[in-house]
Amino acid sequence: EEILALDRDCTTLSRHVLQQLQSFSADAQDVSALMNRIALAGKLIARRLSQAGLMAGALGFTGEVNVQGEEVKQMDAYSNDVFISVFKQSGLVCRLVSEEMDEIYHIPENCPLGRYTLLYDPIDGSSNVDININVGSVFAIRQQEGDDLDGSGQDLLQSGRKQIGAGYILYGPSTMLIYSLGTGVHAFVLDPSLGEFVLASENIKIPKHGAVYSVNEGNFWQWDEPYRNYIRYMHRHEGYTARYSGAMVGDLHRLLFQGGVFLYPGTQKNPEGKLRTLYEAAPMAYLVEQAGGLASDGQQAILDVIPDQIHARTPVIIGSQADVELVQSFLSEP
């Protein structure tokens, strides 16, 4: 048993990524280096979060408002900068797209060799930060298409099928990194004493059905009637239970392992809902599809949604196949 445990301890994220890619080509080396940089960003953010309550200026608002119209938290700004500095020196990534930056962030010194674009949500669940509840980071990797000479990033306004990898980091009781490069979904736990993400579960499959539904019912009267009918159905039937944390990463992490459905429908005020396509919905949809689940905007797969701008939003219904289909059955009622 001791030997088995040791063997498992030896599967670090970097080794795992190389195994997944099954190649030592230049591309594989780059993706592997890129994943290592993401892991480094995760460690830096986890370290800051673990001490934030003791540090002057780590919590609370910055006083700025981001392009989404949200008040920026210190941890949003810090974590956004972590990704920038980690990728500035990497030589791998030519462009960054973040929830916390109005425009695409170009790293000319990495171009044209670094042909990857990293899209990320530095802190998901910002409202949880000041009260020491779980938050996350979300990322997607895309290969740059064309030269993007005018810097407008037109090639990014394509479907989520263009992602070559995606994942999230969950800052909970332990820090976890979950990723997929198109060959299954794999979970790692940060061992702080080693400073390594160590393999915890491989080829995760989301259960076909789960008891949990995860949605902000405070928006009930802001939704279209079919969503209200779905929730009424859930209230009237046994075997369902509600969980909603204010951080999509945490809520979806639960579903990945235990099944169920997460929804963020459009509201009267925001017909496209709240979640951003490129760095929230699409990466999560990629993971959930890789795990055998479904992700829909109510009409089509999230991975087929084509954003009309980098910060575009989309409604989401995401999780176990049977539970997503149940929601859809209400949407298609005449």
* Residue ranges that bind ligand AHG, judged by CB under 6 A: 70, 99, 121, 124-126, 216, 246-248, 274
292 annotated as a binding-site residue: no
Smallest gap from Cβ 308 to Mn ion, in A, equals 20
**Residue 165 exposed, middle or buried by CB count within 10 Å (0-12, 13-18, 19+):** buried
What's the sign of the alpha-carbon dihedral 221, 126, 53, 176?
Answer: positive
Smallest gap from Cβ 247 to ligand AHG, in A, equals 5
H/E element, 81:
helix 74-88
Residue 216 site contact among Mn ion, ligand AHG, none (CB < 5 to 8 Å, cut-off depends on kind): ligand AHG
User: Which residue, 31 or 119, is less far from Mn ion as judged by CB?
Assistant: 119
2 annotated as a binding-site residue: no
332 annotated as a binding-site residue: no
Residue 101: DSSP 8-state: -
User: Which residue, 16 or 276, is less far from Mn ion as judged by CB?
Assistant: 276
Cβ-proximal residues to 310 (8 Å cutoff; 6+ apart), any chain = 97, 104, 153, 156, 157, 278
Smallest gap from Cβ 123 to ligand AHG, in A, equals 6
N-term to C-term CA, the chain: 58
Q: Is there a contact between 301 and 282 (Cβ–Cβ < 8 Å)? A: no
274 annotated as a binding-site residue: yes
Smallest gap from Cβ 236 to Mn ion, in A, equals 31
25 annotated as a binding-site residue: no
244 annotated as a binding-site residue: yes
The residues facing 318 across adjacent strands are: 262, 295
User: Which residue, 125 or 293, is less far from ligand AHG as judged by CB?
Assistant: 125
213 annotated as a binding-site residue: no
User: Which residue, 20 or 219, is less far from Mn ion as judged by CB?
Assistant: 219
* Rounded distance between C-alpha atoms, residue 160 and residue 299, angstroms: 15
H/E element, 246:
none
Cis peptide bond N-terminal to 112, omega within 30: yes
Helix (H, G, I), strand (E, B) or coil at 117: strand
Using CB atoms, what's the residue nearest to Mn ion? 124
Interaction site with Mn ion (CB under 5 A): 70, 99, 121, 123-124
User: Which residue, 196 or 264, is less far from ligand AHG as judged by CB?
Assistant: 264
Smallest gap from Cβ 30 to ligand AHG, in A, equals 27
Residues forming the annotated binding site? Answer: 99, 121, 123-127, 216, 244, 274, 280
Residues forming the annotated binding site for substrate? Answer: 124-127, 216, 244, 274
